[in-house]
Structure 1
Amino acid sequence: MTRIIALALAITAGTMAQASDDYIRIDPAKTQQIETLLTEQGYDVRKIEMDDGLYEAYALKDGARYEIYLDGNLSVVKTEIDD
């Protein structure tokens, strides 16, 4: 019985650690700044997250989907059309 409990705890702890590594909370004020910046450029922002140290915004513009990458100073470093 002890082995079963230990195994269950090990599995649970592993998935909790993995989930926390994938999720980075973004400051709501920074999110608002990004939304404002991109909205002024004609984008309809749908989602913002962090990826490899960059802010990654998913947005629509003129019927196309975009992934827009911004650095810590909110300068756009890369824009891709999302197929």
Structure 2
Amino acid sequence: MHPAAQQAISTLLAEGKTPSVATVKAKLTEPLPMPVIIAALASYKNNPEAITHTAQQSQPAPAKPQSQLDRIEAKLDKLLALLEEKQ
């Protein structure tokens, strides 16, 4: 299962919500293809305990979540810096 999908499902479960394609997609930290989201949900529904066991084992270090806009701005800054170097 893709780590981002697993994290989204874990977050939803921690909030007491039932994971669905729409709710998982809304909680994703990075864009994923729809088949990956559906496969992750199917995996969770077949074995719900796998999410909780894996989430407990691989607790990521707390980090400030970076919004998609922040990531785009950082990439744009890098591109502009590269363009300025070539001029």
Instruction: State the TM-score, normalizing by the size of structure 2.
Output: 0.27
Structure of higher RCO (CA pairs closer than 8 Å, 6+ residues apart): 2
Per the normalisation by structure 1, the TM-score is: 0.28
Which structure would you say has the larger Rg?
Answer: 1
Higher helix share: 2
Answer 1 or 2: which has greater strand percent: 1
